[in-house]
Chains A and B, each alone.
Chain A
Amino acid sequence: MSELRFDAVSVRYGHHLAVDDVSLTVPSGQVVGLVGESGSGKSTLAATAVGLVPATAGRVLVDGAENHLRKVQMVFQDPYSSLDPRMSIGGSIAEAMPRGTDRRAEVARLLELVNLDPGRATALPSRLSGGQRQRVALARALAGRPEVVIADEITSALDVSVQGAVLNLVRDLQRQLGLSMLFISHNLAVVRYVSDRIAVMKSGRIVEEGPAERVLAAPEHPYTRELLAAAPRRHTRLEAS
């Protein structure tokens, strides 16, 4: 597998600097969790990696190369809007495959991989539950044989009861296929569960990055400490300040 590297990436919307000189590396075969406040530019950064948003400055490299069409795939937040309602799920998955693949066999294999019945390839997304749709989205991302997968808030539109199943699947697949992965979430507990390393983003900048245990056990940046203190824990209560 490969390494994804953001090299001094900036993105500007008009006067607003959404991503400010970010350098971040997702090492080969590892999961980097990206947390940060809303509007901090997490999604924008992800969008530069897959070419949906052009970087105003800087480069995104996969194994040192800038041309990486299809090598980076993304799973979106909302499985209800990320699948074409008029296209069968098999069709959506097949579309992402490189030319010359045996599409039918590959679709069946991928559906099997994400624990869905291959017989449902012809079903439309409206027949599937949110969790099942997110599995299809995952299968589609894998169909392009990516070297890097970006998961942008993939569980936040899902119910907790389904969230667990999707997270288990993501972890299994990542280990089984040795994927490199950028896992974006606002939920620190979720990020902690899947990530090897954790990066913390605030106002368009990465303020802290390091091995997950270290960042969680000994946060260096005050904002990381604030995040940790704010994370819901079972036995803490929040009082009106």
Chain B
Amino acid sequence: MGRRGVLRAAAGPAPVATPRDRTGVVRTVLRSPVGATSAVLLCLLVALAVFAPLLWGDRAAAIDTDALQQGPSPAHLLGTDQLGRDIFFRVLVATRLTIGLALLATVIGVAAGLVLGSAPSVLPRWAGRVVTSAVNIAVAFPGLLLALFFAVIFGTGTIGAVLAIAFAITPSFARLTQTLTASVAGRDFIAAARVCGVGRFRLLTRHVLPNIAEPLVINSTLAAGSALTAFAGLSFLGIGVQAPSYDWGRLLGEGLNRIYLSPAPALGPAVAVVVAGLAFNLFGEAAASAAGRRPQPVRRTPPAPESIVDDSGGGLLTVRNLRVTFPGGISPVRGVSFTVHEGEMIGVVGESGSGKSLTALAVSRLVEHPGEVTADRLEFDGRPLAATPDRELGTKLAMVFQDPMTSFNPTRRIGRQLAEVSEVHQGMSRRDALAKAVDRLRAVRIPEPERRAGQYPHEFSGGMRQRAMIAMGLMGEPRLVIADEPTTALDVTVQREVLRLLARIRAERTAGVLLISHDITVVAQTCDRVLVMYAGRIVEELPTAELFTAARHPYTTALLAAVPDLDTDRDAPLAVIPGRPPEPGEIGPGCPFAPRCPLAGDRCRTEEPELTAMADGHRVACWRSESELTLAATGGPR
């Protein structure tokens, strides 16, 4: 996590969609009713803009002195104007000019915004600052006011109005570009490209802009909607399109003069403006909400058999047949059962994607919609978890997360964020809470805790952030601490401190600890029992004391062999596990480890083994017999 410490200064993590999402966005938009309707409307508008002047241009221009200022009739659906021209056809024909001018203004405005917004990243630093402050000032003015201001400067007329609206859009786009650029600029791939010698301009065009294109396009669509209505406003006021040209705003203005005689000539263009403006806005909104959502994989897996488990129960945390399911039948956690007793430290190991974190989240009631948690039993401190009030859970169960950068709010001081926990859950005063926060930071060995408490998350190195996260978990009086990869990025000395800290919490408070790690040596050092997870299930459970001697599951023994330690032979290549673990959607029938397992047989590919007791406190899910496994683990090829 240290990478974030040095190179990622102010920019907080902003949602930058991955490319896989891009086609997904279009599809999701079209699937939502609002998105589909607005898309159809937009297509219609474009078709009108292209074809209406060709088809009806003559009829819209035809002067008929016999039918001046008529009301609606079958011959003239919206009536006629003072020269007897058909208003219905004039509205249709005006689509081209109206939409065209709105889009032109948007394109100019967005382009100017892009240039201003990205200029600071290519200009020398002082020039960049000047641009940034200018944009900040301009953003403070309401857009319409800016438009009127520019309209006065550029004078009345089409060109003036286009520029006025364009420049009214510019500041907010410049600001948006700046924010998005900053969020991308902090990522490692930008640093990597710089190290490769990629110049600033190419950095901008090849790396930054493609990664912010999606939100920019969505916002441009929204801006086009506003440009359209704003333009109609200017034309309506007489400072936009000038006769003999006409757009909807102008038609609206002409119609309004005699609205008391006949409302139709004004209503027609008004409806057109509203519908078109809505179409742009709704489409933009639908796209924005689709981009914010992750596409859901759709694949069904056959429900796997459930674990049969001894029902001793009576622990601090009792979990039986826990499953976490996402729409589409994806189950990343498939029937997990274990017990954590008071004062006990349990380790969970397994590769990424094996369901460790999701199990922890389910136990903390933090699985978010649309994930669904089911279990035969899920009890914490003698009570069903579902019946424990939030407030109580907030203090009794502490969760230390994997990624401390996203767990802290980047804009607030560390000390305050810790103190808030005690203010909210224990009703402490601000001052006491802050004092406690400093104390807890000291407890996790943050040097100069008073000074560090006043710093922001980005000023901490990765390791310190992780410790601060643990300190946050200790602000309450936890009965159970769930620590998800708390030591992944730490060096050994700090790692030892953190582990000791956890060990102390469990000893002093007889709290239970559930320690999740992909590093089996970390777990081996501290825990009483180890749960080895693979593909959403526990494949082996055994006392840590026996881990290096009695582990039997082929996956566990392979994991143990793959970790270098201080006694590893430096001249031989490290042992590796071939292949990769299956994605939750790829789990078929049979043992999920079979494709990588040296002992796999026919049965392994068709039937999934249950977790069954091999010895006291030792459970293994494997079809091979104990003697076969023992032979492979001790005498077989490593």
Binding site for B on A (CB under 8 A): 35-40, 42-44, 47, 50-53, 69-70, 72-74, 76-78, 81-87, 92, 95-96, 124, 126, 129-131, 137, 140, 143-144, 152-153, 156, 159-165, 167-168, 171, 186-190, 192-193, 216, 226-228, 230-241
Contacts and interface: CB of A to CB of B under 8 A. Distances in A.
Interface stretch (B39-47, B88-96, B461-469): B461-469
Contacts of A233: 521, 565-567
A129 B521 CA distance: 24
Given A77-B2, A78-B188, A140-B196, A236 B525 contact: yes
Nearest to A161: B577
Given A188-B492, A232-B521, 15 more contacts: A35-B491, A37-B494, A50-B195, A82-B188, A82-B191, A84-B207, A85-B211, A87-B210, A96-B197, A159-B351, A160-B559, A162-B576, A164-B563, A188-B566, A241-B504
10 contacts: A39-B463, A43-B6, A44-B6, A81-B187, A159-B518, A163-B562, A186-B492, A192-B568, A193-B568, A240-B500
Contact of B3 (A53, A70, A76, A168): A76
B65 interface: no
Contact of A168 (B490, B499, B500, B574): B574
Given A81-B189, A240-B500, A39 B464 contact: yes
A38 B490 contact: yes
B400 interface: no
B518 A160 contact: yes
B564 A164 contact: yes
A84 B352 contact: no
A156 B520 contact: no
Interface in B321-378: 351-352
B492 A231 contact: yes
A140 to B, nearest CB: 7
Contacts of B352: 130, 159
B246 to A, nearest CB: 43
Range for the number of chain B residues in contact with chain A? 35 or more
B215 to A, nearest CB: 13
B198 interface: yes
Contacts of A37: 463, 491, 493-494
B308 interface: no
Contacts of B577: 161, 164
Nearest to B508: A240
Contacts of B195: 50-52, 72-74
Interface in B444-471: 460-464
A238 B526 contact: yes
A233 to B, nearest CB: 6
B565 A189 contact: yes
Interface centre among A190, A239, A240 (most CB of B within 10 A): A240
B356 to A, nearest CB: 11
Most buried by A among B189, B489, B494, B496: B189
B576 A164 contact: yes
Contacts of B20: 124, 126
B7 interface: yes
Interface in B1-19: 1-3, 5-7, 16, 18-19
